Amino acid sequence: MLVAPSGAVRMSRKRPSEPAPLPRDAPERKRACWGILISQGSWADRSPLHEAASQGRLLALRTLLAQGYHANIATIDNVTPLHEACLSGHVACVRALISAGANVNAATFDGITPLYNCCSAGSVGCIELLLQNGAHTHTLHTHLPSALHEACKRGKSQCVESLLTHGADPDHQVPHLGSPLYVSCLHRHTDCSKILLHTGASVNVGRGGDSPLHAAVRQDSRDQVAMLLDYGANVNSRDEGGRRPLELAAPGGPTQQLLVAFEGSPRSLCQLCRLRIRNVIGRCRLKHLPRLPLPHLLTQYLENM
């Protein structure tokens, strides 16, 4: 276990019998992210370096590092100062910690990484710093939290775009969450869904038998339903209860009207051709479309649904 330098205030490593109280000025998102850890008493295990990183006090952080505090000093639950700096979106502190040797892929006992915390905070600057310094877009274990799923859940479309640009898999599956597209539909984040689909995410891959279209219909999100249909969503797919999307739509609502109209008229030849060409090109090559010697209108036709 890492030890604080001599002369520094020593923090208790023993779990108290009662949960340590959360500081009044702690952001609400910290309560959500560290809620389980706080209840186990790890909040009392934080070092001054954690506090400086959390509050964005760059001068104090650099002073502590110069005094001998290790950049990777961790609480009982493996929360590092880099976790804290990322959760608060302090780019300068993240840069200083990385320069001091902070592990960009450090994970808490719950599998939370600094990159995940960046997505919770919506800090694209912190994401870029981590990815440029070797952060993994996904963990090796599929059951652990995913930064891309977190960004989709919170509607951080710029974070989604940054992760995908650096090679994140738009179809990455987390068993209890499903695909990133499914998560974005479940939380009504149309911008995130559009970026995923544009990048080549599979429109019919959700969670188990539940498709993204099922999720969007349950949320009565007409815009999202229309977009999924444009990208080839299967209106005849059935969830685990054997129900089609139309059967889940609110009676008489705009989503139901859209689905009824869609099923009453076949897709246009123009749309069918676009879907077919995109499938043949393949997801990994879609990003090269602008480089093809094609008229601008044709490139737009293939890129934008």
Long-range contacts from 26-31, C-beta under 8 angstroms, 24+ separation: 27/87, 27/88, 29/87, 29/120, 29/121, 30/54, 30/87
Q: What is the DSSP string of 117-135?
A: HHHHHT-HHHHHHHHHTT-
pLDDT of amino acid 215:
97
Answering whether pTM is above 0.85, one says no
Q: Per residue of the chain (305 residues), what is the pLDDT tens digit? A: 344 454 443 333 333 333 334 444 444 545 445 443 443 344 568 899 999 999 999 999 999 999 999 999 999 999 999 999 999 999 999 999 999 999 999 999 889 999 999 999 999 999 999 999 999 998 777 677 799 999 999 999 999 999 999 999 999 999 899 999 999 999 999 999 999 999 999 999 999 889 999 999 999 999 999 999 999 999 999 999 999 999 999 999 999 999 999 988 877 777 778 777 777 777 777 667 777 787 888 777 676 65
- As a whole number of angstroms, the distance between CA 86 and CA 92 comes to 10
* Surface-to-core class of residue 62, CB atoms within 10 Å of its CB (0-12 exposed, 13-18 middle, 19+ buried): middle
Rg (CA), the chain: 23
pLDDT of amino acid 7:
42
* Structural domains of the chain, with CATH: 25-136 (1.25.40.20), 170-265 (1.25.40.20), 266-305 (1.10.750)
pLDDT of amino acid 43:
57
